[in-house]
Every structure is written in structure tokens, then in C-alpha cells.
């Protein structure tokens, strides 16, 4: 029963897996983006880190956390887990990478985030209206790419379910920021979990499941990969919250305590508020009074928020491993999927 | 050969056809919108004219040009034209109505239009970020609805092609506004035609073709309905341009000469600029100098722009009729489709 063992060791192979899958997917992704309206295509290439604003090519693609191509790799490995060649998963990989890029472009508008991967966000570089259009076009291109692939039409439902979940999660995240920290209208940790699973987990799960479906996997395998991705996404989001509160901004690339300032409801703070003891009560009072974010972060840690979040992340990593262990996975795909899972979540430890 | 005869008389039945189809589609459309995140669902209902900002219900749905439900009716009639009951076309009708609503919500952001159907645009009523999200969610819901319908998965490619065209047309429309009126970089009437077909025609054609496909029509019938819808959309857009220049703002609901002020490239002006004679030359000089829009409209009429646009619209109406006449259409659907076509374009005469 490796399924319920602690998080497996980080496989040294994860970067190599990502590189291999990126190289496999890149031509088809470039071909798909090349079908866009030229002006929209430039914005898409900028969003993908392939060019500067204005279209000048970059010496090397701009990469950063979130830009490592985890989703496309999951799709390729999903196909390989079904015993098919990785190329059978490429249309799924292209579709999920396009959806991921669309969601980043639009999320930056919604969240008012001016930078992404150390560069101006698309809406800052090209304007809000054009960024809305570029996101829409990436979204449509994703559906078109999958629908046009062999066996893809039957899988469009899987993609659209993930899309719907992703947008429900984004809506929850925005609405949670308007809800109070305390009292009957407060956000519960369980509500957070569902938000994180939808916002971050749905597309990771969809990536692996779509690849598996295009690779001819039985439904049970696709479902298990979907579950694994959803748990990994939840773990990833919880870890992201921890790093946003107590991580090094130079490493995370996010201003420290930005989530607290925006009244975003993050797991460590919700867990801290839910804990018994004086630190939780002082935290509640401070947050209700819009007090100093640094003091709030310290109180959240004192109230056990960091430890609870790390426990929560580990629990989801274990659930993901259990899902992967519940079905037969062909060849090296099982090990490579576990390596990717560890790569996604090792920041927690 | 009614196909190449002049535009048929307006059937008195068009409003009745629209009412019948709207009543058939409304429960499924409401059910689909009910699956959205509650906050997003409120924005969707506002955009559909079903509620006020804040969610209070309206006594009667808000309706206006563009809001009459032509697309959903085309989908229902497409199924009936295939000999199937209209209800077989309902998932297609829901999908195209959701896509249409999505495109209006996002277009108003891109164009900076503050009002729609006499009310604040969604982005003005709820904010830009939420309006981006609401549009995205409507888009995803459209794909989900069609993919989940019997026979719908195989038709998703038709929807995504139309979506891609719609967004390419919107991109062209935005880019055209940045191009000069004269000189080698000017917009040619042929470029306009392609833009209008994509921006307005693709979804009308898709509506009828999707309904036909769900109704079991042979590909030739679906293709003919698609072509008819594309020509009707082009005609509709040209007529819209004419009304924007010389129509009554109280009837059109648009400020007079707004297109000229925004340097939108409209067919009558492009045709006028392309004509020989002194009025065209004076129009070119005036537009290049950003002169008085009222004077520009008068010069465009003197240069034959209004007449050329009406000819162009009539030509597309005839092409639509020819496409409809080129395939067998079951029962009353042929007559009702012709009535809808006339209803869409009778403003030209």
C-alpha cells in the first residue's frame, strides 16, 4: 500500500519529464497559436512567454512558477499511462495549455494584477479590451483543437466540465474576498477546499484525464487521474497560500501579504481562525479591524495556521498518490506522474 | 427559382415564430443559467434582460434589437427543417444564445460601450473583472450544454469554428479602427465583408446548422443553412452601418455617427471612398483630417455610399435565399426561415 504512505521522494526526473513533454507539445501548440488572428496571436505568444510586447522574439522563453508546463506534461503522461504513445495526448496537452493561458490572462484583469512572471500582464501591455479578446480566442482555440482531434469530440465534455469548475472556483475566490473574516457569513475551510479544487485542481485533473482518454484508457483510469489532479491542485493552492504568507517574495514573485491586503481567504488563515485559543481570537479581532498584515501573519502562525495548512497539503498529496495507485498505469508513466506530483508540491516541505 | 428573386415579402409570421421558439427554448436556457455560480448567474440573467442589477426580477424581459432571440429561433427551425421536432434543436439554441450573450458582454468591455438595450452594460453595472468572468462562464456553459446533448459532442466542432470566426471578426473590427481611411493601408470593402461575415454571420449560420445537425439533417443541408446565416449576418451588419450613419438614434438606440467618431470602418463609408468623383475625394480629405462627422455622413451619401450599402445588403439577402432554396427543407421550416431572414434584414428597405 504505497497509496497512503507519506509523500514520495522527489524524483530527480521531474525536470527531464517536463522538458521531454514540452518538446513533444511545442510544435502543435505553435501551430494552434498560428491559426489565431495575427494581432491576437501576438498577444497569445506574449502570454506564453514566447515574445516581447510588440512581437519581438525572446532569446529563451520566459518561464516561472506556473509556467513550467505541468499541465501539458500531465496530458502526455495520461496518454502514456494508457499504454499509448505520448503524441496521442498532444491535442489534450495543447487544449489544457491554451485554457491555462486564457485563465491567467483573464485572472490578471479580474484580480488587477499588473505583472505576471516579472513582466507586465497582458492587459497592462496591450490594454484591457484586447486582453479580454485574447483570452476569449485562446479559450475558443482550446475547444476547437480538442474537438478536431481523433477521439477528441467525445472528450470535449470533460474539458468543458473542468472549464466550468475553473470559473466557479474563480468566482468563489472573488466572492470570498468580499465576505467577512468572522461571524456567520465567514468562509469555512470546507468552502475553501472546494474553491481550490475547482480553481486549481480541475484543470490539472482534466489534463491527465483528457490525455488518458485520447490514449484509449478505460474510464476508471481517466477518473483516477482526474481525482489525482484535483487533489494535487488543492495541495498546490494551499502551499501557495503558505508561501504568500511566510515565503520569500524574491522566490514566490508575489508581494508579501498581498493576499491578506486583498482580504483573500487563504487556507492557513481560515484554519487559524477556526482553531481554539487566544491567538485565534486576537487574529480575528485584528483582521476585523483591518490591522497590520505582518502581525496577522504572525498570529496566524501562532494559532497553528501554517502547520494546519502543511497537514492539509500533505493529506491531498497522499490522496493523489492513492488515486494514482488505484489503477494500473502503463510503462514509466506511473513513476513520472508521481515525480511530477512531488515536483508540484515539494515546496510545502 | 425563387432563390434569385428579390427579397421575399416580410412574412407576418416572423414575430409569432420568434415567440414560439423563445417559449420552447426558455426553460432549457433558464435551467442552464441556473447551473452557473449564483453570483455569475445573476450577471448572466441581467445580461439576458431577465433581472435588474442586484437580481430583482423584471416585470417583462428587457428586449431590443439584437435581443429578439433570432439565433435560438434559427436553431429550432434548423432542427425542424431536418424533419425533427423543434425540441431536438433546443440544446443548440441554448448554446448559441449563451455564446451570443457572452459576446455582447465582452464586446461592450472591448468597445467601451456603457449601455446596452437602454441599461448599463454588464461591466458598468457589476465592474469589468466580474463582467469578464460572467462572459467566460457563459462561454463555457455553451460548450458544456452542447457537448452534453444527444449528438451534441460531434457538433462541438461546428460551434468552436463559429466561435473562432466570431472572435477573428471582432479582432478585425478593432484593428480596422486603428487603420487609416485612405492610402495603401486603408481597409478594402472585401476585408469588411469577411469581418462582417465572421463577426455577425458565423453565429447565425452556426445556429441554424447546429439545429439541423441535432435534427439529423444531412451535411449538405447543415452547410446550406450555415451559408444562409452567414449571408444574412453580413446583410444585417451592412444595414446596421447604414442605420448608424443615417438612421434615427431614437430607433437604433445608438448615438448618431458613433461609428465615424470611433473610426470604425463601415461598409457605406468604405464603398463611398472607393467610388470615383469629387464627393469621394472630399470625403477622404475630411476623414483624414478628422472633420465633422455630420458632414462626412452627407458626403458619404453623395458619393453613393448609402446606395452601395443597400445594394450590398440586398445581394447577401439574395444569396441567403439561394442557399435556402438549394436544399429540401421539411414542413413549414423553409417558409419560417425565409420569414426570419426578411425580419432580420427588412430594415434595409
Find, in chain A, the residue whose alpha carbon is nearest to that of B161. Answer: A144
Q: What is the 3-state secondary structure (H, E, C) of A104-149?
A: HHHHHHHHCCCEECCEECHHHHHCHHHHHHHHHHHHHHHHHHHHCC
SS3 B62: coil
User: Given an 8 Å threshold on Cβ–Cβ distance, is A153 in contact with B157?
Assistant: yes
Give me chain A's average pLDDT, please. 91
pLDDT at position B9, please? 41
pLDDT on residue A67: 59
| Residues B293-316, mean pLDDT to the nearest whole number | 96
Q: Give residue-wise pLDDT tens across range B212-246.
A: 999 999 999 999 999 999 999 999 999 999 999 99
Q: CA-to-CA distance for B98 and B144, rounded, in angstroms?
A: 11
Q: What is the pLDDT of residue B63?
A: 56
What CA–CA distance (Å, rounded) separates A138 from A143? 9
Distance, in angstroms, between B108 CA and closest chain A CA? 9
Which range, A23-37, B4-18, B105-119, has the best average confidence (pLDDT)? A23-37
Closest by CA to B58, choosing from B66, B67, B71, B48, is B48
User: What are the tens digits of pLDDT across the range A50-99?
Assistant: 999 988 888 776 654 445 899 999 999 999 999 999 999 999 999 999 99
- Nearest one of B103, B101, B110, B75 to B89, comparing CA atoms: B75
What does the alpha-carbon distance between residue B138 and residue B102 come to, in Å, rounded to a whole number?
6
Kindly state the percentage of chain A with pLDDT values over 70: 93
B211 in any annotated domain: yes
pLDDT of residue B43: 97
Q: Which residues of A touch B91 (CB under 8 A)?
A: none
**How many independent structural domains does chain B possess?**
1
Which residues on neighbouring strands pair with residue B51, listed in sequence order? B57
Q: Is residue B349 part of a domain?
A: no
Q: A44-58, A99-113, B22-36: lowest mean pLDDT where?
A: A44-58
Summarize pLDDT for A190-200 with one digit per residue, the tens: 999 999 999 99
Across the interface, of A129, A133, A164, the residue whose CB is closest to B144 is A164
B6 three-class SS: coil
For residue A39, give the nearest of B109, B154, B171 by CB distance: B171
* pLDDT tens-digit readout, B43-101: 999 999 999 998 888 877 665 444 589 999 999 999 999 999 999 999 999 999 999 99
* Residues paired with residue A119 on neighbouring β-strands, in sequence order: A116
In a domain, B335, yes or no: no
pLDDT at position B64, please? 45
- Distance, CA of A73 to CA of A20 (rounded, Å): 8
| Angle, alpha carbons B19-B25-B26 (nearest 5°) | 85
Gap between the Cα atoms of A234 and A228, Å rounded: 10
Is pLDDT at A10 greater than 80 in this prediction? no
Read off the pLDDT of each residue in A35-57 and give the average, rounded to a whole number. Answer: 94
Question: Could you tell me what percent of chain A has a pLDDT over 90?
Answer: 82
* Residue entry with cell 435581443: B67
pLDDT one-digit tens code per residue, B189-204: 999 999 999 999 999 9
Best of B156, B179, B213, B264 to mutate (most A CBs within 10 Å, chain A): B156
Residues of A with CB under 8 A from a CB of B: 35-37, 39-40, 106, 109-112, 128-130, 132-133, 135-137, 139-141, 143-144, 147-148, 153-154, 156-157, 159-161, 163-164, 167-168, 170-172, 174-175
Confidence band of A171 (pLDDT split at 50, 70, 90): very high
Picking from A96, A329, A98, A82, the residue whose alpha carbon sits closest to that of residue A214 is A82
Residue A218's domain is classified under what CATH number? Answer: 1.10.600.10
Q: Which residue has 522563453 as its cell numbers?
A: A61
ipTM of the complex: 0.91
pLDDT on residue A142: 97
From chain B, the residues in CB contact with A143 under 8 A are: 143, 156, 159-160, 163
Structure confidence by residue, pLDDT tens digits, A124-153: 999 999 999 999 999 999 999 999 999 999
- Tell me which residue of A105, A111, A113, A114 sits closest to A132, measured CA to CA: A105
Answer whether residue A234 shows pLDDT above 70.
Answer: yes
B297-308 tens-digit pLDDT: 999 999 999 999
Quickly state the pLDDT bin for B339 (edges 50, 70, 90).
Answer: very high
CA distance A164 to B140: 6
B168 domain-assigned: yes
| Reported confidence tier of residue A40, pLDDT bands at 50, 70, 90 | very high
pLDDT at B4: 38
Residue A148 sits in which domain range?
Answer: 2-348
Instruction: Tell me the pLDDT band of B118, cut-offs 50, 70 and 90.
Output: confident
Q: Which residue is associated with the grid cell 429561433?
A: B73
C-alpha R_g of chain B: 20
Q: Of A246, A238, A233, which Cα lies nearest the Cα of A312?
A: A238
To test the contact with chain A by mutation, choose from B143, B165, B195 the residue with the greatest count of A C-beta atoms within 10 A, namely B143
Amino acid at each position: 500500500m504505497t497509496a497512503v504512505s507519506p509523500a514520495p521522494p522527489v524524483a530527480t526526473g521531474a525536470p527531464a519529464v517536463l522538458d521531454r513533454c514540452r518538446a513533444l507539445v511545442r510544435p502543435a501548440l505553435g501551430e494552434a497559436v498560428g491559426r489565431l488572428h495575427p494581432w491576437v496571436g501576438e498577444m497569445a505568444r506574449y502570454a506564453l512567454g514566447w515574445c516581447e510586447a510588440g512581437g519581438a522574439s525572446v532569446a529563451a522563453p520566459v518561464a516561472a512558477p506556473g509556467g513550467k508546463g505541468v499541465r501539458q506534461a500531465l496530458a502526455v503522461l495520461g496518454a502514456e499511462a494508457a499504454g499509448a504513445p505520448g503524441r496521442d495526448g498532444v491535442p489534450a496537452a495543447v487544449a489544457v495549455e491554451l485554457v491555462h493561458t486564457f485563465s491567467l490572462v483573464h485572472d490578471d484583469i479580474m484580480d488587477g494584477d499588473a505583472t505576471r512572471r516579472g513582466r507586465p500582464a497582458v492587459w497592462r501591455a496591450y490594454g484591457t479590451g484586447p486582453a479580454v479578446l485574447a483570452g476569449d480566442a485562446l479559450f475558443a482555440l482550446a475547444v476547437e483543437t480538442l474537438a478536431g482531434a481523433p477521439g477528441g469530440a467525445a472528450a470535449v465534455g470533460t474539458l468543458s466540465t473542468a472549464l466550468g469548475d475553473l470559473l466557479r472556483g474563480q468566482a468563489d475566490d472573488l466572492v470570498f474576498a468580499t465576505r467577512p473574516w468572522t461571524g456567520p457569513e465567514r468562509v469555512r475551510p470546507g468552502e475553501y477546499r472546494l474553491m481550490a479544487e475547482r480553481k486549481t485542481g480541475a484543470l490539472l485533473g482534466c489534463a491527465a484525464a483528457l490525455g488518458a482518454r485520447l490514449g484509449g484508457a478505460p474510464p476508471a483510469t481517466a477518473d483516477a487521474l482526474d481525482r489525482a489532479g484535483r487533489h494535487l491542485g488543492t495541495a498546490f493552492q494551499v502551499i501557495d497560500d503558505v508561501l504568500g504568507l511566510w515565503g520569500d517574495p524574491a522566490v514566490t514573485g508575489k508581494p508579501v501579504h498581498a493576499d491578506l491586503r486583498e482580504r483573500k481567504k487563504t487556507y492557513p488563515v481560515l484554519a487559524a481562525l477556526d482553531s481554539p485559543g487566544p491567538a485565534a481570537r486576537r487574529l480575528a479581532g485584528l483582521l476585523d479591524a483591518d490591522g497590520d498584515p505582518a502581525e496577522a501573519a504572525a498570529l496566524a502562525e501562532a494559532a497553528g495556521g501554517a502547520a494546519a495548512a502543511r497537514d492539509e497539503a500533505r493529506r491531498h498529496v497522499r490522496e493523489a498518490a492513492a488515486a494514482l495507485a488505484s489503477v494500473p498505469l502503463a510503462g514509466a508513466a506511473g513513476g513520472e506522474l508521481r515525480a511530477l506530483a512531488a515536483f508540484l508540491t515539494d515546496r510545502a516541505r
